Structure formats: structure tokens, C-alpha cells
Structure 1
Amino acid sequence: MSTEVTERPVVTSRPRGSARRARVFTRPALALLALLVLVGIWQLVALARIWPEQLLPTPGQVWHQLLVTSDSGNGQGGYGGSTLWERLGVSLRRVAYGSVYGIGIGVGLGLLMGLVPAVRATVEPLVTFLRALPPLAYLSLLVIWFGIDEEPKVYLLMIAAFPPVAVATAAAVTGVNRQYVEAARALGARGWQVVASVILPASAPEILTGVRLAVGIAYGSVVAAETVNGADGIGGMVLNAQRYNQTSVVILGLVVIGVTGLLIDSLLVALSRLLSPWRGRA
């Protein structure tokens, strides 16, 4: 009697860690490929002259404006007396001040709303009211109160930034597992010790999500405010370029705003992963 030996194919499986690293390594390549495709389509449409050059400049013309507006020695001090990076720095400084103030107020108020039901019942309608208002709706009132200097812009960003943080913090605090709180109290923690050791760490992921939303709203608000009455920020550059039909400068400003916002959001995502590494893991 003969016996037949059946060979089974050897299945090799890639370790999960290496597969995850491979996926991570492909993300920058995919993002770069998508960017190149977008720029290529833009170039082809611009060369087809479907619209006049004044309406749709080529990527090369926008790149030229980047070099010109970044050079303080071009006879114009960059663009209108300030370089692109100086204008961007002005806008980012406003965003930083307004976001820090707004996030601080939002976290503090959100904690009170989540811990004290009476405070939440009293304050939540006002927070919801402010969250529903477009920031530019009360910019004119802030200008009447504080003038046209830095104060109204910073206050605008502060008011725009704190509602999403307050709402996210209050929702996170009320959603903390009560068993964790009771366990901390059983171990001797009292008052703010429970808040610092249990409630804040458990609420950190949701609070940081609110912070991401707040910074995004603040950045969009400062650019919009500068296009209304500010001439020294990146939004002011876009406004001045629009007045003189300098489409390439307008597109350059939009690209710089978008890329900067993407970088800021990426930093906040990295901060969220650093402060709450357990999120998304079993």
C-alpha cells in the first residue's frame, strides 16, 4: 500500500507590527501623490486657457509670488511692507493668544458645568448661544468697545474658542465612569484630588478633541477678521490682493493658510496621542 504525501502551501503572515508600520509609511507617499495629481490637474487646466490667466494663474506663477512676498529686499518689503512670513506670524500670534485664553476659560467652565448641575443649567444656554453665533457677527461690537487694535481680534478668538472646549469638557466629565470616582474616594482622595487624578485624565481625549475644534475655529476666525478690517496679517494680504485682482497672491495666501492649519492640527493630534496614549487601544 502506497501512501501519498500532500504538501500544504506554507502561509507566511506578516507580523502585525510590521504591517502597521508599512501602512504608516505609505501615508506620506499617498499624500504626496495626491498633491502632485492636484497640481498636475491645476497646471493642465491653467494651460488650457479655459479661464483667463488673471482668474486662474499657473502653479509656477503662484510659486513666483511665494518667492517675491518672502523677500524683504524686493523694493516693496515683501508685500505691502511686510513679508509673507511676518504676516503669517502676526496671525499665528493672535491665534495663540486667543486660543490659550479661550481654552483656559473653556476647560474651567466645562469642569464646573460637568461637576455642578446647577452651573450647567445656568451657563449652558449662554454657551450654546455663543457657539451658534458666527464670530464675525460680534466683531463689529468688539471694535466699537475696544477699538481697531489687537484687543478686539484677541477677544474675538477667545470668545470663538471657548464654547467648543466648554461643551466637550462638560460632556467628558459627565461621561466619566462613576466607579472610578468611587474607587478614588475609597482610597482617600477628596475634592480636587479626585478631579486631578481621575476625572481630568479620563476626560483628556474628549477635551483635546474640543481643543482641536477650538483652534481650528480660532484660525478661521482670525483670517476672516483680517479680511474685514486687518491689513497686517495673512488675511489682510489676501484682502489687499483681491482689491487689485492679484489672483496668484490670493491663491498663495489660501494655500499658506491651509497648510499652516494642517500643520497645527497635526501637532494637536500628536499632543493628543502623547497625553492619552491609551485611546483607541483595547
Structure 2
Amino acid sequence: MTTTRVAALRQPGDAGAAAATASAPAASAGPASTAPLKTSRFRIPGEGSSTAISVVTVAVLLALWLVVTNLGWVKPLFLPSPQAVGEQFLDYVRGTANDKPLWEHFAASMLRVFSAFALACLTAIPIGIAMGMSRWARGIFDPPIEFYRPLPPLAYLPLIIIWFGIDETPKILLIYLSCFAPLALAARSGMRSATQEQINCAYSMGASYTQVIRHVILPSALPDILVGMRIAIGFGWTTLVAAEMVAANTGLGQMVLNASNFLRTDIVVMGIVVIGVVAYLFDLLMRWIERVVAPWKGRM
């Protein structure tokens, strides 16, 4: 009786479904059902997964440096010992070295780099956004940016000195130019991060063009802009030595260049280590800002 009622409730189109249901146990009983499911072993490592490896790598490099220099395998003129570099660092921190204290060099370099970086953010990011939105802006700004971007800063440094003299302006301008290109290109690339589905969804909910730009496109572009800021601040620090070649009295780059003229390799290595550590701390700071400002990165 039950079978008769079920058959009466079925529509004519249910015959195929019934056949598929009836054949499902037979299909599952085949050899394919006994095969084990294969799962991918590939996993994307997190940022913290390599911290221990990095610490061990740094410790090994420091130990190798200590052994090589203390056993006399390399002359101190070419590679000073960690003890000599540490002594010079303490002398500069205390102000007992035959030079200005370290904090004066550090403050001068920070002022130059961050002044140029702030100017680059204020100009390059809006230009990059305009390049991503308008073909006119892209056609105007893309040729000069792509022309000077591959040029090393020392190539156009003499021209900047001729145009702007030897005061602080050419130093800041040189660092500014090294920060400008990666910021503009990152902002331009970020403007294309929003998918068409997100834009159409915002329009279907009654958003205006300005609201789509503000609430959809710019949040999608923000992670790329922050990455561009990380790259730009790194380029700014790499240009620091070249910028402070222009008649500078203070600055980390000037300290390194002045020490190299007197073959003070211990001061040169100390300055390089300070510049590298500060640059790494800046990168960590930018990563933290990126996590705080754009927590949705990789989830959209």
C-alpha cells in the first residue's frame, strides 16, 4: 500500500531521479568507492612558522663571523671582528668617538628619509589612484614614471645638484624620487583589485559612483598601497647613502662614507648594521600597520 502511494505522488519527471537513486548504491559499491581520498599536502606557511629558522640562521652567521675574524683568517682591514664593531657602536652612542654622536647622524637621516617619504605618499598615491581610474592620467604619468624608475639614483644625482644646489633639497628630492615610483605603481595596481561582482553588487544596492570608489575600490586597493609603502621606504633607505654624498655633515650615510675614506672598516660595518637594523624595524612596523589598517587582506 505504501509503495502504491509513493508511486502515485511521483511526477513523470521523477523517473530519472528514481533511476539515479536506485543506481547510486550499485555505483558506490564499485571499485571507485574503495579508493582512499587523496588530500593535498601543500600548506601555505604562516609568517611565524619561519621565525625559529631565521633566529638560528642569524646566530650561525654571527658565530661564523666571530670565528673567521678571531682566528685571523681575514684581515681586520677587510672584515673587522664583532668586538671591534661593538666598541665603535658604544663609542658613537656615548659620544666619545672622533665624530658626531650616533643620535645626530640618526636624526638627520630620519628627517631626510621621512620628509621625502611623506611627500611621496601625498603625491604618488593620488596620482596612482588617478592612473588606475583614468586613461588620461595613465597616459600622462605612465611614460615619465616608467622612464626614470629603472635609472639608478647616482645617474641623475649630478643633474639634481646642478639644478638645486648642495643643501638639503637635493638630498630629499633624490630620496623622494626613489619612493615615488613604487608608491604610484602600487596604487595604480590596487585600483584594479576590486572584482566586477563587488562593484555591481554595490550599484545594485543603490550606491553612487563616489560611494563605490570610497567603500569598494579604495578598501580593495589599500593592501596594495600599504605594500607599496613598504617597498618605498626600503628604496628610500637604499638611496640614503647616495643622497648624503651631496655635501652632508651628518647622517648615517655620510658617517659610512667618511669612515670609508679613512679605511675605518669597523665604522663602515657598524653603520651598515645600523642602517640595516633600522630598515628591518621599519618593515616590521609597516607589516603591523598593514594588519591593523587592512585586516581584510587575503579574505576578499
TM-score interval, smaller chain: 0.7 to 0.9
Q: What is residue 63 of structure 2 aligned with on the other side?
A: 40
Q: Is the 8 A contact 2:112 2:171 kept in 1?
A: yes
Counterparts in 2 of 1:128 and 1:204: CA distance versus 1, 3 Å: same
Counterparts in 2 of 1:66 and 1:209: CA distance versus 1, 3 Å: same
What SS does the corresponding residue of 2:228 show, helix, strand or coil?
Answer: helix
AA partner of residue 279 (structure 1): K
> How many residue pairs end up in the alignment?
256
Q: Is the 8 A contact 1:184 1:194 kept in 2?
A: yes
Q: What is residue 11 of structure 1 aligned with on the other side?
A: none
What SS does the corresponding residue of 2:130 show, helix, strand or coil?
Answer: helix
AA partner of residue 106 (structure 1): A
AA partner of residue 37 (structure 1): V
**Post-superposition CA distance 1:75-103 (Å, at most 9, x none):** xxx442x2112201211111101011112
- Of the three residues 230, 233, 237, the one matched with 2:251 is 233
> Following the alignment from structure 2 to structure 1, what is the Cα–Cα distance between the partners of residues 212 and 257?
50
**Post-superposition CA distance 1:1-49 (Å, at most 9, x none):** xxxxxxxxxxxxxxxxxxx99x84x755443332222111111111221
> Following the alignment from structure 1 to structure 2, what is the Cα–Cα distance between the partners of residues 102 and 65?
34
Question: Where do residues 113-128 of structure 1 align in structure 2 (5 Å cutoff)?
Answer: 113-128=131-146
Q: What is residue 177 of structure 1 aligned with on the other side?
A: 195
Q: What is residue 12 of structure 2 aligned with on the other side?
A: none
Question: Where do residues 188-227 of structure 1 align in structure 2 (5 Å cutoff)?
Answer: 188-227=206-245
> Following the alignment from structure 2 to structure 1, what is the Cα–Cα distance between the partners of residues 70 and 155?
41
> Following the alignment from structure 2 to structure 1, what is the Cα–Cα distance between the partners of residues 105 and 135?
44
Q: Percent identity?
A: 35
Q: How much has 1:182 moved relative to structure 2?
A: 2.9
Q: What is residue 104 of structure 2 aligned with on the other side?
A: 86
> Following the alignment from structure 2 to structure 1, what is the Cα–Cα distance between the partners of residues 77 and 106?
25
What SS does the corresponding residue of 1:174 show, helix, strand or coil?
Answer: coil
**Post-superposition CA distance 1:216-267 (Å, at most 9, x none):** 1111112222245423100110011111111100000010011111000111
Q: How much has 1:181 moved relative to structure 2?
A: 2.3
Q: How much has 1:179 moved relative to structure 2?
A: 2.5
Q: How much has 1:71 moved relative to structure 2?
A: 1.4
Question: Where do residues 78-157 of structure 1 align in structure 2 (5 Å cutoff)?
Answer: 78-80=97-99, 82-157=100-175
Q: What is residue 6 of structure 1 aligned with on the other side?
A: none
Gaps in structure 1 of 5+ consecutive residues:
1-19
Q: How much has 1:127 moved relative to structure 2?
A: 1.2
What SS does the corresponding residue of 1:69 show, helix, strand or coil?
Answer: helix
AA partner of residue 57 (structure 1): P
> Following the alignment from structure 2 to structure 1, what is the Cα–Cα distance between the partners of residues 238 and 146?
19
Q: Is the 8 A contact 1:99 1:158 kept in 2?
A: yes
**Post-superposition CA distance 1:117-156 (Å, at most 9, x none):** 1221222111111212212222222222221111111111
| Bigger mean CA deviation after superposition, 243-252 or 120-129 | 120-129
> Following the alignment from structure 2 to structure 1, what is the Cα–Cα distance between the partners of residues 249 and 141?
36
Structure having the higher Rg: 2
Q: What is residue 17 of structure 1 aligned with on the other side?
A: none
Q: Is the 8 A contact 1:227 1:236 kept in 2?
A: yes
